[in-house]
Amino acid sequence: MDPETRRNLQKARRLTAGEQRVEVSWNAIGGLALRVAVDRGYDVEGRFGSLNVPEFFEVIDQERWHVPGIDVEAVVAWLEEQDRHNAVYLELLLRLFARRLKYRRILSTQAFATSDQVGPRALLEHGLLDTEALRSLVVWRKWMMDVDNRSGQETGYLYDAIVARALGGTAFGSRNSPIQRAPTQDGSAVSGQRQVDCIVDNPRGKPWAYEVKIRITDAASRQGRLEEELAFPRDCKFSGYIPRLLVFDPTPCETLTKVARAFEEAGGQVFRGEEAYEHIKDNAGHAQAEFLRRYVVEPLKQYEDTIPDATEGRELVDLRLAANKNRITVELKGFEPYVIERHVDPRSVKQEEPPLDE
């Protein structure tokens, strides 16, 4: 195994911030490495014998990725021999697994709110439903808001890391970003910095600043963010960076046309659909492009334009929630229950307010 690969895997397998720390074992990494080999079409059976390598999204338990008798370093070294970019593919898959593992832990340990936290909120609905029902409703509502906020945070951390690593660059949040906000069209100064998905050095000139989108649509929910998206390429130009837009779904729409034009007017470039994949292949490698297609773009396509929306005739499935000290059961009518095993010690779990997404 290349020493740099070892360092990158060591970093990717540990999530140490916060209370829900995660460390993926080396044995599990061996199983994930075999998953990479299967994905890339290599002769795993001819090399290691008959093995049962699970589908990635079907397994969240580390133990199920342990493959007895497999030398982890030998598997990773073999992947590197086939294609040096496989090491990054494995690192990205490991990052995705670690974040999924951490979110499962969040679901298992996120405490229910106390009376001090949510009791006063009952005043807004007192008398409109049974008092006993309202006591539970305010707690359920707060718990779901908390885990949803945590889900947004974890997804953001994951997505930034995947995109930046695949492109060989660095992601920046708004606090430490080198992209400064440009003055408005009337010359008024605007303070602050801009979050950027990825910045990549350019050996021939100004560095590139990437905005990466799975898809851009004309959906009403996007209109409030449109001005921010149009301002991004201007901010990049103002800060001395070349803006680049990657959109994996090339479906044409008016909003995509507007955003693409803003990038081009700022001296930037736009890569749509296959162009986006080819751009990653050209700059990072086929393995990274394959990872993004298989583990980001294709899964998310299953949810685009299918999320329940009454105006589009897509109704929500009836929901029932049940809880005791050992588990939460989520029942969506017509589907198998989703069971979350709970490991919450009221004496040790801090009743903290998770920070809201920016």
Cα–Cα distance, 35 to 51 (Å, whole number): 11
Domain ends where: 261, 283, 305?
A: 283
Instruction: Tell whether the model's pLDDT for residue 350 goes beyond 60.
Output: no
Best CA proximity match to 244, nearest among 179, 293, 288, 298: 179
Give a yes or no: residue 83 inside a domain: yes
Cross-sheet strand order for the sheet of 269-272:
170-172, 196-200, 208-213, 242-247, 269-272
Best CA proximity match to 342, nearest among 330, 354, 326: 326
**E-state strands within the chain:** 14-15, 22-23, 170-172, 196-200, 208-213, 242-247, 269-272, 319-323, 327-332, 338-341
User: 189: Cβ–Cβ under 8 A, 6 or more apart, which residues?
Assistant: 183
The CATH number of whichever domain residue 259 belongs to comes to: 3.40.1560
Domain ends where: 249, 267, 283?
A: 283
Cα–Cα distance, 139 to 143 (Å, whole number): 6
Task: Please give the residue range of the domain that contains residue 75.
Answer: 3-105
Cα–Cα distance, 8 to 88 (Å, whole number): 9
The count of domains in the chain is 2
Cα–Cα distance, 355 to 358 (Å, whole number): 9
Instruction: Tell whether the model's pLDDT for residue 357 goes beyond 60.
Output: no
Write out pLDDT tens, residues 91-126. Answer: 999 999 999 999 999 999 888 888 888 888 998 999
Domain ends where: 89, 105, 121?
A: 105
Q: What burial letters (b/e) apply to 324-339, b meaning 16+ CB within 10 Å? A: eeeebeebeeeeeeee
Give a yes or no: residue 304 inside a domain: no
Write out pLDDT tens, residues 29-40. Answer: 999 999 999 999
Return the residue matching tokens 């050996």: 203
Neighbours of 92 (CB within 10 A): 24
State the Rg of the chain over Cα. 23
User: Percentage of the chain with pLDDT > 90?
Assistant: 51
H helices of 284-341, where? 286-292, 298-301
Give a yes or no: residue 310 inside a domain: no
Cα–Cα distance, 213 to 54 (Å, whole number): 29
Is there a single domain that holds both residue 185 and residue 80? no
Quick one: 193 exposed, middle or buried, by C-beta within 10 A (0-12, 13-18, 19+)?
middle
Give a yes or no: residue 100 inside a domain: yes
Average pLDDT, the chain: 87
Give a yes or no: residue 18 inside a domain: yes
| Average pLDDT, integer, range 19-28 | 88
The pLDDT of residue 305 is 65
Cα–Cα distance, 320 to 103 (Å, whole number): 21
| Average pLDDT, integer, range 308-315 | 69
Give a yes or no: residue 234 inside a domain: yes
| Average pLDDT, integer, range 126-154 | 92
Write out pLDDT tens, residues 222-278. Answer: 566 788 899 999 999 999 999 999 988 888 999 999 999 999 999 999 999 889 888
What is the four-CA torsion angle of 275, 280, 285, 291, rounded to 10 degrees?
-100
Give a yes or no: residue 131 inside a domain: no
Residue 72 CA to its chain's centroid (Å): 26
Write out pLDDT tens, residues 181-203. Answer: 998 776 677 788 988 989 999 98
Give a yes or no: residue 288 inside a domain: no
Is there a single domain that holds both residue 197 and residue 270? yes
